[in-house]
């Protein structure tokens, strides 16, 4: 029941047409100032802000990575991720996003690194944040492009080789992002978020019906592998590992620079708080189908060499052709709704946080140079996407664990008045050193994951460094 090549091409053409129209509509105001291009004039209201954040947050990690993980680990993946994410993300939006929005207005900051550099009075802090944001964002972008390329190549039965699919995804996202800046990405995120939310709801209903109903589908899973319907006690399900991973996925989203910058673009504090209120429900409704697709897929297609293929296989086998095309667009939407934000944010950070001499240029030149660096970043991501041979979940996990090392700096920087630039630098250094040593197995992790110890080290070094440096300056 998979969609034909002609149906896929028609769906793709319609999708590209919609996002390009939204980009062109946004072009009229995008070049008027750097604040308009990079932050949509700080005018995102509750609905657009919610969809921009929700669309950006829910990448192929959810549509491809979570079904793939559930294929191997079972229904417990929902408890491993969703409840923690649904509660943790809104809490971090309030704890960091609300004060960051106020401070960004006060300092006129357009990027997260620029915000903390100005707030803490240190260009070094901004440079280090820029470097680490870039280091962990690029792999995250790569996994998204790889996911879209995998789906397009599979859905077209090889008519589009992975490298062609990856190039097309990058070019389309770059085009409409460059046209309209933040305003274009925000409005396309509204469209993209609707696409993958509608698809996931429809997929849950039609797949369960195709498998004979919910009870019959679960019974088939029980017959093939009853362990998939229980929560394990080993690996990521072990209590300390579960705690570690819970911290990773709950606390990292606010650290994504492309997420934090959207909160900085909010119209007012009320818009941010409205997002916090509705985020848990929306995430829960999205994650339930994602987990079940993987679990049902383990019974329908046992023994897959690559579990990342299960989303496409289940879509092709159990959905009508029209929904099969929508499934392809859902993955494309999930990828592009994140990729566009990442391209725009990294381009702005190269300009604002690294290339200091360019700040002497006039405002319109800043916008065009931002577009140039966005294109260069997109080129690097494309090259890595076609050469990096690792699973979607594996690449995402490395990026998420790295992001966690920056959480202490972002939280303490806006919530603790005694936090200093020295504390920020010591926190980021300690967190990243401990994380790398943990990955290398250089110290006993006592059942926790390396990012847990990196988080502890980051908080400890940040607090100690701030107390010592403020004492040296004679502060009370």
Closest CA to 385 of 153, 157, 148: 148
> What pLDDT score does 66 carry?
84
Decide: 180 and 22 in contact? Cβ < 8 Å: yes
Report residue 419 as tokens: 């936090």
The answer, yes or no, to whether residue 210 has pLDDT greater than 80, is: yes
CB proximity list for 384: less than 8 A, separation 6 or greater? 138, 139, 142
- CATH code matching the domain that covers 5-393, chosen among 1.10.150.120, 1.20.1730.10, 1.20.120.1200, 1.10.10.10: 1.20.1730.10
Tell me phi and psi for residue 44, to 5 degrees: -75, 115
* pLDDT score recorded for residue 282: 81
Q: What is the pLDDT of residues 446-465, one digit of tens each?
A: 888 899 999 999 999 999 99
Cα separation, 151 vs 164, in Å, equals 12
Helical H runs in 301-440?
310-318, 321-349, 363-385, 392-404, 407-415, 421-440
CA-to-CA dists, residue 162 to 51, 154, 165, 168, 222, angstroms: 29, 9, 5, 10, 35
Per-residue DSSP letters for 106-161?
Answer: HHT--SHHHHHHHHHT-HHHHHHHHHHHHHHHHHHHHHHHHHHHHHHHHHTTTSS-
CB 324 within 8 A of CB 336: no
Return the H-helix or E-strand segment holding 390: none
Running DSSP on this structure, what letter comes out for residue 2? Answer: P
User: Is residue 212 classed exposed, middle or buried when 0-12, 13-18 and 19+ CB atoms within 10 A define those classes?
Assistant: exposed
Q: What is the pLDDT of residue 28?
A: 64
Provide mean pLDDT across the span 324-348.
77
At residue 44, the 3 state secondary structure works out as strand
Mean pLDDT score of the chain? 82
Alpha carbons within 13 angstroms on the beta-carbon side of residue 159 total 9
User: In this predicted model, what pLDDT tens digit does every residue of 353-364 receive, in sequence order?
Assistant: 776 544 555 555
Dist CA 347 CA 110 (whole Å): 12
Find all residues with CB under 8 Å of 261, minimum gap 6, and list them. Answer: 38, 39, 110, 111, 112, 182, 341, 345, 348
Please tell me the predicted confidence (pLDDT) of residue 458: 97
Q: How far apart are the first and last CA of the chain?
A: 70
Report the alpha-carbon angle 47-52-56, nearest 5.
150
Examine the pLDDT at 78 and tell me if it is beyond 50.
Answer: yes
pLDDT of 341 reads: 81
Tokens of 141: 């972008």
C-alpha 192/C-alpha 185 separation (Å) is 10
Residue 152 confidence (pLDDT): 74
Mean pLDDT of 362-383: 77
The DSSP-derived string for 219-262 is: HHHHHH-GGGGS--SSGGGSHHHHHHHHHHHHHSGGGSHHHHHH
> Domain-by-domain residue ranges, the chain?
5-393, 405-476
Q: How far apart are CA 250 and CA 252, in angstroms?
A: 6
Residue of 257, 260, 262 whose CA lies nearest to 186: 262
Could you say which DSSP state residue 266 is in? B
| Strongest mean pLDDT among 50-59, 167-176, 364-373 | 167-176
The yes-or-no verdict on residue 3 having pLDDT over 60 is no
Residue 254 has pLDDT above 80, yes or no: yes
Cα(261)–Cα(279) distance, rounded to whole angstroms?
A: 17
Taking the C-alpha atoms of residue 315 and residue 324, their distance in angstroms, rounded to an integer, is: 6
Token pair recorded at residue 290 = 């994602």
**pTM given for the model:** 0.81
Most confident of 105-114, 269-278, 441-450, 454-463: 454-463
């Amino acid at each position: 029941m998979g969609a034909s090549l002609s149906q896929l091409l028609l769906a793709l053409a319609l999708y590209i047409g919609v996002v390009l129209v939204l980009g062109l509509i946004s072009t009229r105001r995008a070049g008027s100032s750097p604040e308009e291009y990079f932050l949509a004039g700080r005018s995102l209201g509750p609905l657009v802000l919610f969809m921009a954040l929700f669309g950006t947050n829910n990448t192929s990690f959810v549509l491809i990575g979570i079904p793939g993980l559930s294929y191997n680990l079972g229904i417990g993946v929902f408890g491993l991720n969703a409840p923690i994410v649904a509660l943790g993300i809104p809490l971090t939006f309030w704890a960091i996003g609300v004060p960051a929005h106020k401070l960004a207005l006060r300092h006129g900051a357009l990027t997260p690194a620029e915000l903390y550099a100005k707030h803490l009075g240190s260009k070094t802090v901004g440079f280090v944040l820029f470097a680490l944001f870039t280091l962990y964002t690029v792999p995250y972008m790569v996994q998204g492009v790889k996911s879209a390329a995998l789906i397009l190549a599979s859905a077209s039965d090889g008519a589009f080789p992975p490298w062609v699919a990856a190039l097309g995804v990058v070019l389309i996202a770059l085009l409409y992002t460059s046209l309209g800046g933040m305003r274009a990405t925000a409005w396309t995120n509204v469209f993209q978020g609707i696409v993958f939310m509608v698809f996931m709801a429809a997929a849950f209903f039609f797949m369960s019906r195709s498998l004979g109903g919910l009870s019959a589908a679960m019974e088939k899973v029980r017959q093939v592998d009853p362990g998939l319907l229980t929560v394990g006690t080993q690996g990521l399900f072990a209590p300390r590992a579960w705690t570690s991973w819970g911290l990773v996925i709950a606390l990292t989203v606010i650290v994504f620079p492309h997420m934090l910058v959207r909160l900085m673009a909010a119209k007012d504090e009320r818009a941010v708080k409205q997002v916090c209120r509705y985020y848990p429900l929306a995430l829960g409704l999205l994650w339930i189908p994602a987990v079940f697709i993987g679990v049902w897929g383990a019974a329908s297609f046992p023994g897959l060499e690559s579990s990342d293929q299960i989303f496409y296989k289940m879509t092709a086998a159990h959905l009508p052709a029209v929904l099969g095309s929508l499934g392809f667009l859902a993955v494309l939407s999930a990828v592009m709704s994140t990729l566009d934000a990442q391209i725009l944010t990294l381009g702005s950070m190269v300009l604002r946080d690294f290339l200091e001499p360019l700040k002497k240029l006039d405002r319109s030149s800043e916008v065009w140079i931002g577009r140039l660096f966005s294109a260069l970043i997109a080129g690097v991501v494309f090259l890595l996407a076609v050469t990096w041979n690792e699973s979607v979940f594996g690449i995402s996990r490395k990026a998420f664990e790295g992001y966690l090392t920056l959480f202490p700096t972002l939280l303490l920087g806006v919530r603790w008045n005694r936090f200093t630039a020295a504390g920020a630098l010591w926190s980021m250094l300690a967190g990243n050193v401990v994380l790398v040593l943990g990955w290398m197995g250089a110290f006993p992790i006592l059942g926790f994951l390396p990012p847990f110890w990196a988080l502890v080290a980051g908080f400890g070094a940040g607090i100690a460094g701030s107390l010592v440096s403020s004492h040296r300056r004679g502060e009370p």
